[in-house]
Structure 1
Amino acid sequence: MARPMKPRRPFNAPGPTRAADGPRRPDAPTGPRRPGRPAGEFAAGAWLWGHHAVAAALANPARTCRRLLVGADSGGALAPVLAAMPDHRRPPVETVERAALDRLLPAGSVHQGVALAVEPLAPPDLGDLLDSLGAGQPATLVLLDQVTDPHNIGAILRSAAAFGAAAVILPDRHAPPITGTLAKAASGAVEVVPLVRVVNLARTIVELQEAGFVCLGLAEEGPDELVAGRPAERVAIALGAEGEGLRRLTRERCDRLVRLPTGGPVGSLNVSNAAAVALFAIGRPERPR
């Protein structure tokens, strides 16, 4: 069934401004510049922190970078990335005390002495994603059903990048925004793996099936084990929230339910660990029989 034509947003282009991660501090840049406000303050979408997240954002040509704060002993690792950036994209760099970063960022942020103010990326569109993959081309997608913890979502994005998944898809309702916490957990994967938000996951599964994807639901009670080797050229693996698992309608829409071959005294995995194992298994060549 052909999808109805609709306007496409530029894939992974800068998008509208969102609130930054965590409560604003008095010394954090926020809002449009007003008369009398210091020149260093500006409108910013979010703060990213940590070497991997910041370096990936600087290297992403679709990301607008506004201001880079570095500790006196922390900016050297970013020098090659900054040198490779064209002048119009390179943000101003300011050396600050680590205590200033502690005050600026949410409590407990492991910033490693670097923080970058950025504009958020535009949320990718499912239709644009499918168009970019091409008809019939091999691809792996990850579907998240009610997974809301930004640390888990970030870790899943990191595994998706490591094992070559084309995107992570999740319902827009109750899903956290891409904040510094999520980006830090993703270790740079936010810049390379699209995080696609959809209105209805069950309908999205049907759309993926129409595009040639085999949709597998990961569930402890699945009748079949997920063994090493691709079950199809185009695979979407659905994972549910810890405790609740996949919702009923999501289960019914999947082509089949599968389980990981776990055992021992602890028979289940954290959702981000389960995603990593599943992506590794799907990506491996089939074992000789």
Structure 2
Amino acid sequence: MKSSKLYGLHSVQAALDYSPKSINKAWIDAQRQDKRLVQAIGALLDLGIEPEKTERKKLDKLAEGNNHQGIVIEVDMPAELSESDLKTAVQSLGETALFLVLDNVQDPHNLGACLRTADATGVHGVIITKDNATGITPTVCKVASGAAETVPVYQVTNLARTLRWLKDQGIWVFGAAGEAEQRVYQADLTWPLALVVGAEEKGMRRLTREQCDVLVKLPMLGQVDSLNLSVATGVLLYEVVRQRMT
């Protein structure tokens, strides 16, 4: 299991809340005594982890120059799961499937934000590509605010093959595409569903698009022709939630 550094009070608190057992070590600014830092130190001590008091220069180095707010921790990173794990999860589902598929998404901020929304909307897992895409990184964990530990992430080698297999299991594959004729609000999203969102700027690859049963789009009423990937994903997933709750 690989380990990495997380920094900043928000990221540290998320680790304390959602994955305290993953924390191995901590460093704190010996000169700071603000309330939130003291609370974080108390929580670490409760876990049996005594933070090492150090100078700011060392914290700056550990956080690679980023704003650490006086605290850095070392954590075991959440692991990406395999295609075999995905098959086991799909076949053991006891409710209507909802998977988010990200085709070659490379920005860790987008992946982190998508994981956070996936957690909020009850997604059963996020499927990512192995090549030309970001995996679970410290930045992903920071942006996800705990969702990297709660939402299963499945890394697959051949996305088109995985989508074909999902369809064989009775899961409909819906792709988000700006050129689609049907708006997402016109589609029935209550079926077992894998929602595919393509990479930043490029969208879905051709082989991925060919596996989609339905293409849907978001209405764009202003001057811009697209939304940020994670924003669009959030709108799409909450439309799924709205339909299923209704």
Give TM class, smaller chain: 0.7 to 0.9
Q: 1:286 to 1:199 in 2, by over 3 A?
A: closer
- The Cα shift of 1:231 comes to 1.6
What do residues 86-107 of structure 1 show as CA deviations (whole Å, max 9, x unaligned)?
A: xxxx433223344432222123
User: Residue 68 of structure 1 contacts residue 116 of structure 1 at CA under 8 Å; is this kept in 2?
Assistant: yes
How far apart in 1 are the matches of 2:82 and 2:203?
A: 26
1:173-211 deviation digits (Å, cap 9, x = unpaired): 122342222211212211111221100111111121122
Range 261-270 or range 71-80, more displaced: 71-80
Give aligned pairs, total.
Answer: 241
Q: 2:139 aligns with which of 177, 181, 194?
A: 181
Task: Give the 3-state SS of the residue equivalent to 2:12 in structure 1.
Answer: helix
Q: CA deviation at 1:268?
A: 0.9
Indicate if the aligned counterparts of 2:102 and 2:126 stay in contact, CA closer than 8 A.
Answer: yes
Instruction: Report if the CA contact (8 A) 2:114-2:234 is conserved.
Output: yes
- The residue that corresponds to 1:128 in the other structure is 85
CA–CA distance in structure 2, aligned partners of residues 150 and 70 of structure 1: 26
Residue 100 (structure 1) aligns with: 58
Q: 2 CA distance for matches of 1:195 and 1:111?
A: 27
Amino acid at match of 2:71: V
CA separation of 1:95 and 1:138: change in aligned 2, threshold 3 A = farther
Q: Deviations over 1:129-180 (max 9, x none)?
A: 4434524522321111111111111111111112221221111112234222
d(CA) in 2 for partners of 1:177, 1:131: 21
- CA distance, structure 1, for counterparts of residue 21 and residue 72 of structure 2: 15
Q: Letter of the aligned partner of 1:204 in structure 2?
A: T
Asked whether the equivalents of residues 173 and 199 of structure 1 are also in contact (C-alpha less than 8 Å), the reply is: yes
Cα RMSD, aligned residues only = 2.6
2:226 is aligned, of 260, 268, 276, to 268
Q: Which runs of 5 or more residues in structure 1 are unaligned?
A: 1-14, 18-44
**Partners in 2 of 1:53 and 1:140 — Cα distance?**
27
One-letter identity of the residue aligned with 1:76: V
Q: Which amino acid aligns with 2:72?
A: A
Change in Cα spacing, 1:265 to 1:199, as seen in structure 2 (3 Å) is: same
Query: What runs of 5+ residues in structure 2 fail to find an aligned partner?
Result: none
Distance 1:62 1:139 in 2: 29
More helix by share: 2
1:129-208 equivalent positions in 2, closer than 5 A: 129-132=86-89, 134-135=92-93, 137-208=95-166
